[in-house]
Amino acid sequence: MSNVGTSVMQVTATDADDPTYGNSARLVYSILQGQPYFSVEPQTGIIRTALPNMDREARQEYDVVIQAKDMGGHMGGLSGTTEVKITLTDVNDNPPKFPQSVYTMSVSEDKVAGEEVGRLKAKDSDIGDNGLVNYRLIDGDGMSMFELSTNSETREAVIKLKKQVDFETKRSYTLKVEGSNPHLDPRFLAWGPYKDEATIKISVEDADEPPVFIAPSYTFEVEENAPRGTPVGRVHAKDTDVANNPVRYMIPRYTDVDQFFSISEDGMITTNRPLDRETQPWHNISVSATEIGGHHQDTKVRVNIKVKDVNDNAPEFATNNEVHMCENVALGKVIETVSAVDKDEMAHRQHFTFSLAPEVAHNQNFSVKDNRGKSIEKLISYFLPPVLYFAASLPVSSSAVSYSTPSPSFTQIRSKQDQMEAYSAL
């Protein structure tokens, strides 16, 4: 892109004749090959451009032959020639250009973020830094789903997934890509712009995906001792593919080794046998859903089943105690405190009632009284010293069913150093 007359180089010839003797050593330069692109100054040998806007992309190298002739170039003078190879250097005078205005690509919905979707490349006739092209996404409804990077070795724009696409949600995307030169020559800015644009149309391909449960996990409740076949709860999964195939459910046996539960075709979980809360209050199982007619892909969901308590356990005395007392203990004296426990939940055992067993209820030697309103501790007061067999019944008032636990005991009075001892095994 040099102007006409731009100096390229200078050639110099020598002559062994005496320069002071006539024209024998006076040299004149002329161009024999290389016209009309170049010229040479006859007296100096300076080679100059002869045409404007010589284009390297059209022709990069020229072979120029220069002649030097003595005798001032007149007839009869002797001559010699030299060959000059001239190479045009590159300037950034060409913008990048995409070979196509529209590119089509496709991506399967089972591809993950970071995977490559496709490539495109803008061509630039310039070389070196002048031919470098930077790429960027400038528009389109796929800006949030795809990203672009530049391969430094191949100088290609690489389109990759930023987020996983879903065929059932959106089946196509459009992107607009710009390719531009990063190194501009101010002398040629008016020839710009030094950039180009292309449109990318990306279609999403359907992939056979496993069914999807509508909830990430499930929690159900069922009463203990419920009969076989009692419904626990229903799970639901669906095939999100276009085919929308039916789904089959099953409970993997490694999550329900004792096979407490079964599941129906519509996802209803039922009991296979009565459950015991006191043995196992929670059952944590998995349910798998498999697409029927597809590639048999399955997905699993966690199901937590709480066994609800019912009043099915009799209360028990907490401990068996042996009590020693003197025969002359004062009437109304507290000689022992007894307590009870119940395997059922607190809601079903928050009120215990203590009483003497029916077979000794008529005996007035001992009494059982509430311990200041506490629900599980009672007081036994000693009235008279004769031998007594004692039992207590503990009805549970929070259920229509009443359980009692008899606790036979005896009290024996013996003399020892003017004292009597009573033994009560409770």
Contact 336, 424 (CB under 8 A): yes
- As a whole number of angstroms, the distance between CA 29 and CA 7 comes to 15
Task: Provide the pLDDT for residue 174.
Answer: 98
Task: Provide the pLDDT for residue 68.
Answer: 96
- 227: Cβ–Cβ under 8 A, 6 or more apart, which residues? 271, 274
What tokens appear for 8 in the block?
Answer: 């390229």
Q: Is the pTM of this model over 0.75?
A: no
Mean pLDDT of 283-306: 90
Is residue 348 very low, low, confident or very high in pLDDT (cuts 50, 70, 90)?
low
CATH superfamily of 7-87: Cadherins (2.60.40.60)
- As a whole number of angstroms, the distance between CA 16 and CA 39 comes to 26
Residue 230 burial class via C-beta count within 10 angstroms: exposed 0-12, middle 13-18, buried 19 and up? middle
Most confident among 1-5, 76-80, 337-341 (mean pLDDT): 76-80
Contact 86, 64 (CB under 8 A): yes
Domain-wise residue ranges, the chain: 7-87, 102-205, 212-308, 316-425
Q: What CATH number matches the domain at 212-308, 1.10.3430.10, 3.30.70.270, 3.10.50.40, 2.60.40.60?
A: 2.60.40.60
Most confident among 68-72, 205-209, 357-361, 363-367 (mean pLDDT): 68-72
Size of the chain, expressed as the number of residues it contains: 426
Task: Provide the pLDDT for residue 123.
Answer: 95
Stretch (H or E) spanning 62 = strand 61-69
* CATH entry 2.60.40.60 includes domain 102-205: yes
pLDDT digits (tens, 9 = 90+) for 104-131: 999 999 999 999 999 999 999 888 888 8
Task: Provide the pLDDT for residue 294.
Answer: 63
* CATH entry 2.40.50.140 includes domain 316-425: no
Most confident among 211-220, 306-315, 378-387 (mean pLDDT): 211-220
pLDDT digits (tens, 9 = 90+) for 320-338: 767 676 767 677 777 777 7
Q: How many CB atoms are closer than 10 A to CB 179?
A: 25
**Domain 7-87 and domain 102-205 have a common topology:** yes
Mean pLDDT of 268-290: 96
- As a whole number of angstroms, the distance between CA 62 and CA 84 comes to 8
What tokens appear for 404 in the block?
Answer: 């009692």
- 116: Cβ–Cβ under 8 A, 6 or more apart, which residues? 158, 159, 160
Task: Provide the pLDDT for residue 365.
Answer: 66
Mean pLDDT of the chain: 82
Contact 235, 287 (CB under 8 A): yes
